[in-house]
Amino acid sequence: MRILQIILLIFPCITFSQESMVIKHLVNAINSVGAELNFFQDEKDHAFFTAIRDDNNNYISSIYSSNLQLDQWSKGDYFYSFNSDYMQSGNLFITKDKTAYFTFCKGENCAIYRSKLKKQKWTNPKKLDERINKIGSTSTQPTIAIIQGKQLLYFVSDREGGIGGLDIWLSAIDDNGNFGNPINLGSKINTNANEITPFYNQEKGALFFSSDREKGMGGYDIYTSKGSLALWENPELLPQPLNSTFDEMYLNFHQEDKGHFSSNRSPAIFEDEESCCNDIFSFEFSQHEKDSPKIINKINEFLPLSLYFHNDEPDCCTIKTTTDLTYKESYISYFYLKEEYIKQNNSPEKIQRFFDARLKENFNKLDQLLLKIRSALAQGQKIELQIKGFASPLFKAKYNINLSKRRIVSLLNYMEEFQNGNITQYLKNEQLVIYELPIGEAQSSKKVSDNPRNKKLSVYSLEAALARKIEIVRVKLKQ
């Protein structure tokens, strides 16, 4: 049973006061009398998970794949590319560019490996270097985050230099795929207990992880902390029903408010020992609209609202994160390019509809939205406005993050000028708070070209036009 324990262990201020949650136990095609962990959805209709099976009192951990069919997950198939005849595997994370990170374990020692999808086949897993897989210690549970344009590996290790037990560590990845020296996340995240299963939620700007530290609800509990790199706020224990008196771990999101986690709470399936084994559960947050004033709900009827930009605007060819231009100025100069886009586009009717029904119409909706926000502020409401910034993949990741920031700033500039600055006072007294999330190219469609020599596809195509935007996501009451 010791190996099972090893695999289980090794393998915002976010508020929930106005949100409810639906938790579901995944179908028996996934969950069984053994342990199921680390459900990772790499596509809308495809996922991987780790299952631990008893083979004549020898517990074997392997990675399985599953397909979503008629809203139900199919029975897991043993995934040969990520498994081994000689070692146990688990803890899978796959990046957008289809690089897989996962763990192979031999006895009680685990190491992180990497594989890439090339020509529809996964390459042979390659063990990461000794910076990550330090000799004499365990390294496991890899997860990748892109923060401030940098690609980062968060992982779990019991190596020397930690705070105690299993700790969460960070390593920066350069443009050539090389890893920097790992950094301990520090005493705000790590304790002398065990901290495991990290996941960075890009949408919320927060790290989620599990710990068996004192003052939890019992066993392993899920915590969250806002921050980036190795700078974090004090973690918060997530409330019920995400946490319970049982173990909760491997929480990850596949959409902004949806995801999966593992727990041995009821109705986890067991054979002869209740609460022996983890099963996989899904969760989904939903907003309590009745708890918000009607005016806030009316505002959210306009959202999400996407506002679009011409390539590398505003202020092209710079790595600055601010701009003096307003979104109105960017919009006008973009709209004047309509005929050029139609001329250059392989689908002129579609690009014309984009300019009229998206670019122009959404700009007109922006003024209506700001009028409603101003009205709510005048009534004394304290509001948080969430804005994301996006870019096409035409430049490097760091450049696109800065470009996304400029795009958000151009909207803030327009808001400050709107109706002679009527909204500015609410920004100054923090009755209106802007939550900015510059995502860059991280969520752009695979159909968007990144070839600068082919401007018809990388600049003038409909796919590229749709990728270059900011999105006003949601208005909610400020806590």
Mean pLDDT of 223-240: 89
Summary mean pLDDT of the chain:
87
Q: What is the pLDDT of residue 189?
A: 96
Express as a percent the part of the chain with pLDDT over 90. Answer: 57
Type of residue found at 91: N
Confidence of residue 425 (pLDDT cuts 50, 70, 90): confident
Confidence of residue 16 (pLDDT cuts 50, 70, 90): very low
Question: Using CA atoms, how far apart are residues 143 and 170, in angstroms rounded to an integer?
Answer: 10
Alpha-carbon separation of residue 345 from 338, 352, 361, 458, 459 (angstroms): 10, 10, 21, 11, 10
On the question of pLDDT at 441 being above 70, the answer is no
Least confident of 5-19, 144-158, 411-425: 5-19
Q: How far does CA 442 lie from the centroid of its chain?
A: 10
Type of residue found at 119: K
Question: Using CA atoms, how far apart are residues 157 and 138, in angstroms rounded to an integer?
Answer: 5
**The CATH number of domain 2-286 is 2.120.10.30:** yes
Question: Using CA atoms, how far apart are residues 386 and 206, in angstroms rounded to an integer?
Answer: 15
Token pair listed for 412: 């803030």
Domain limits, CATH 2.120.10.30, in the chain: 2-286
Give tens-digit pLDDT for 49-63: 999 987 777 789 999
Give phi and psi for 105, each to the nearest 5. -120, 140
Confidence of residue 137 (pLDDT cuts 50, 70, 90): very high
Mean pLDDT of 369-398: 87
Give tens-digit pLDDT for 178-190: 999 999 999 999 9
On the question of pLDDT at 19 being above 60, the answer is no
On the question of pLDDT at 446 being above 80, the answer is no
Give tens-digit pLDDT for 327-380: 999 999 999 999 999 999 888 899 999 999 999 999 999 999 999 999 888 888
Question: Using CA atoms, how far apart are residues 402 and 5, in angstroms rounded to an integer?
Answer: 44
Least confident of 107-121, 261-275, 298-312: 261-275
Q: What is the pLDDT of residue 18?
A: 40
On the question of pLDDT at 17 being above 70, the answer is no
Q: What is the pLDDT of residue 465?
A: 93
On the question of pLDDT at 13 being above 60, the answer is no
Mean pLDDT of 267-293: 70
Confidence of residue 2 (pLDDT cuts 50, 70, 90): very low
Alpha-carbon separation of residue 138 from 155, 186, 297, 435 (angstroms): 10, 18, 49, 38
Q: What is the pLDDT of residue 11?
A: 41
Question: Using CA atoms, how far apart are residues 138 and 145, in angstroms rounded to an integer?
Answer: 21
Q: What is the pLDDT of residue 82?
A: 97
Give the CB-side neighbour count of residue 271, counting CA atoms within 13 A: 6
Give tens-digit pLDDT for 162-182: 999 999 999 999 989 999 999
On the question of pLDDT at 289 being above 60, the answer is no
Least confident of 39-48, 206-215, 283-292, 455-464: 283-292
On the question of pLDDT at 9 being above 50, the answer is no
Place of tokens 């998970």: 49
Type of residue found at 58: N
On the question of pLDDT at 215 being above 60, the answer is yes
Token pair listed for 28: 């028996």
